[in-house]
Structure 1
């Protein structure tokens, strides 16, 4: 780019689907789910698009072929292309739309920032496109937090649908928000799960209601510091119009709301798993109640649901997520009856405290989505005696507090992951009497990473099979084998879902292998 700077007047004016996107020179960084969706959308708008990604695998090449067919000018695959900012049609890019996983210090993005080129995420792009002639834009409810995001957006979606609204959970939950924006029927409400990465690249969002569920150390490697992580999480509240929802049991979220620059008239609404104060939702006896969205909140509360409405039990973290979801949908005008109905009809997704099997007195639980210590603790505290399968890519976090608080419930720890040094050190320091078994690369056949540095599914499956076998040897009647890694998966598995599926398959194979020796299934 040679130090050139870009006039942003045109991109500043792009605030609707019907704005002048034609011929806009855009670089899309990343060809994953969000990058593909962004490139496809921009082509539909008439922009001139070049896509860049370091990946060269078959899936990426197939996506590249598809994007070229729909009209993308060029797709540049290979690590060398991610090291600099390409021109678009022999001109400097006017906009970069990045996939959320790309770090700000990545050379291509750093070059764009240095040149003054706006950098948006797909969520920022979607917010600008939500206004479309002849269609009422969907209201946005936004959710972030270190843990519980997917459960909360799922519960909110269920409550909204129970009230008769056309609603969808989108964003980091799996469905790209741009796909929802382009839906021909449109939506009344979108509930967005937003990661700290997505929030970093979002600038002008103004949701109806927003919540940060909780915060704990995570993604320090991406943000550069815990302070940077907190700052991006706090962006969830910026420009909120009706309700900025916070966790009364998490002081950091209270501070975020107190310091947020919201729209005048926006209210701070708390939630707690204890008895609520005024302008809060909480629990009284066995009821979820609302003292925020009722007229006489000083002297009464509205019943929203009962603890018995939770199909698989009202674990404390699940109740907290439901209260957060209820606060969001109540801000959107949903009646109490729909909150209860939404809880009753909600079905949790896979890989979050998911019962896999109960065999020979041992309960097997998959919580592969516990990709950090805070999430793993929610699982661990739900069980009395645990054989804990843990480890993976630590993302710069520490494990001392997690291990110290849960040492009494640990019977054995089975370690997976390419580098378990931090977790092992914490275990030896705070749980020295707990046996540690390692199932590491090199101890089973096929442990060779693929060309992108991520272990293939076959090698990951071998590690998980070894881990399940070790856990089975250590487990006895009444024990729970819990796979809650407290770490990301990418060192041995393509995703937490692949890791969870490998665990489920390994447990299935173990149980089937034992079946001929016993009638218990």
Structure 2
């Protein structure tokens, strides 16, 4: 099973590692192609047994409660992206020379196997933060250009469905996580972007170097453009290290005035000095900053990255503007909830790490910050030091709030802090009430926790919903 297409799956013994959103579809697809499929799964709960029964009815073998042992005769392992590389199953596969693919790799290999269906190029987006928004913006721009597309990968339509379904696509906007890239050795995109790099998922990758290396895989073999962040040198370094096709260009995006082969901002206008006839002396207007929703600095950067990928694919300038205007961000991403007594309340519950929270805090001038949750091994000194000048006050919630409190004591000792010693879901209402007490007209109360939510809530969506509900209650009593 080398790097080329696999045309004959008949009788091949494939082990699928993990049930769930990627494992179950992969098992079904491989079984449908004629492979002998065994699914192994660590868990053996009611949900897993239900999924196993459905697969077994098709003729797939399922082993629950044993994800460590490589089944006899396995010729290929297809893994769910979250399984860590040091699991015994993968070490066993490596010892006997059995390749390991992720769901992205499987989808990549299966392109072109549906008779009569065109093979759509992939425009890929990765980075520590902003991936989903940028990918959705890109899809919106491509649609505005009249192209048949979908946002796929880590979001939206599953990649296997996009590749094997009947729907024909001209091009795919593909969001990829570092996990997915780790398990996708032969992926070769038309063009790709790494938006930013900050420490995240280091428990999975083992080191910042390994994390960056997996992100950088997205540039390997790019055909037209490697899009990088001028403000984040690490992304440019990854471009320099990548082995790309002859003629592929490095394209930067910046919130400042762009140089040649860059996209940037001039007097409130998003401009392109990369995909124009004479990039040394001319620039193409693409859109206004006000066309970006919301026009926070990090979101303008997302828009520029999306525009760069779309322009690499040949999309006209007007489609960039129309696509950005048509784009609506997902809930809980710097979403304005309400104004109460002259104070704006903004939900950025999706800011689950320090890098995302810093970008969110940079969007406002005077802030009462609601923060805290599960730190996932993060430290907060750099975030607090950079944001201290914007803070009117801070309300802390969640299991690891002491880490943020200590950073505030070191770097912003004059900022008033309310430390709520509770982790029940009702704490959010008290947090919003305390924030309202600290805020003055013209301020923004910002939920940008810089932490994961699972200590108090099922997920960041539930946390954001609780914040919005608390703001509505506050408004009703105003």
**TM-score, structure 1 normalization:** 0.86
Which residue of 12, 16, 21 maps to 2:2?
12
Which residue of 34, 37, 48 maps to 2:25?
37
User: What's 1:489 paired with?
Assistant: 453
Shift of 1:296: 2.1
Greater mean deviation of Cα atoms: 491-500 or 387-396: 491-500
Q: Distance in 2 between the 1:52 and 1:416 partners?
A: 39
Q: 2:255 aligned with 1:273, yes or no?
A: yes
Relative to structure 1, the CA distance from residue 392 to residue 382 in structure 2 (aligned partners, 3 Å threshold; closer, same or farther) is: same
User: What's 2:407 paired with?
Assistant: 426
Any conservation in 2 of the 1:356–1:364 contact (CA below 8 Å)? yes
User: What's 1:403 paired with?
Assistant: 384
C-alpha RMSD of matched pairs (Å): 2.2
User: What's 1:456 paired with?
Assistant: none
Q: Distance in 2 between the 1:311 and 1:435 partners?
A: 32
1:495-510 equivalences in 2 (<5 Å): 495-508=459-472, 510=473
Shift of 1:263: 1.1
Shift of 1:14: 6.0
Q: 2:352 aligned with 1:388, yes or no?
A: no
User: What's 2:76 paired with?
Assistant: 95
Relative to structure 1, the CA distance from residue 15 to residue 495 in structure 2 (aligned partners, 3 Å threshold; closer, same or farther) is: farther
Relative to structure 1, the CA distance from residue 463 to residue 109 in structure 2 (aligned partners, 3 Å threshold; closer, same or farther) is: farther
User: What's 2:276 paired with?
Assistant: 294
Q: 2:153 aligned with 1:171, yes or no?
A: yes
**Runs of 5+ unmatched residues, structure 2:** none
Shift of 1:162: 0.6
Which residue of 54, 62, 85 maps to 2:69?
85
Shift of 1:86: 4.2
Any conservation in 2 of the 1:24–1:47 contact (CA below 8 Å)? yes
Shift of 1:58: 4.2
Greater mean deviation of Cα atoms: 27-36 or 248-257: 27-36
Q: Distance in 1 between the 2:58 and 2:332 partners?
A: 35
Any conservation in 1 of the 2:16–2:77 contact (CA below 8 Å)? yes
Q: 2:226 aligned with 1:244, yes or no?
A: yes
Q: Distance in 1 between the 2:17 and 2:456 partners?
A: 24
Q: Distance in 2 between the 1:64 and 1:418 partners?
A: 35
Shift of 1:227: 1.2
Greater mean deviation of Cα atoms: 491-500 or 296-305: 491-500
Q: 2:313 aligned with 1:332, yes or no?
A: yes
**TM-score, structure 2 normalization:** 0.93
Q: Distance in 1 between the 2:426 and 2:100 partners?
A: 41
Relative to structure 1, the CA distance from residue 134 to residue 402 in structure 2 (aligned partners, 3 Å threshold; closer, same or farther) is: same
Greater mean deviation of Cα atoms: 318-327 or 62-71: 62-71
Size of the alignment, in residue pairs? Answer: 477
Which residue of 457, 464, 467 maps to 2:431?
467
User: What's 2:322 paired with?
Assistant: 341
Q: Distance in 2 between the 1:383 and 1:343 partners?
A: 22
Shift of 1:311: 4.7
Greater mean deviation of Cα atoms: 299-308 or 206-215: 299-308
Any conservation in 2 of the 1:14–1:21 contact (CA below 8 Å)? no
Any conservation in 2 of the 1:140–1:209 contact (CA below 8 Å)? yes
Shift of 1:228: 1.3
Give secondary structure in 1 for the equivalent of 2:22. Answer: helix
User: What's 2:39 paired with?
Assistant: 51
Shift of 1:33: 1.5
Q: 2:305 aligned with 1:321, yes or no?
A: no
Which residue of 209, 227, 236 maps to 1:227?
209
Give secondary structure in 2 for the equivalent of 1:349. Answer: coil
Any conservation in 1 of the 2:293–2:329 contact (CA below 8 Å)? no
Relative to structure 1, the CA distance from residue 104 to residue 274 in structure 2 (aligned partners, 3 Å threshold; closer, same or farther) is: same
User: What's 1:126 paired with?
Assistant: 107
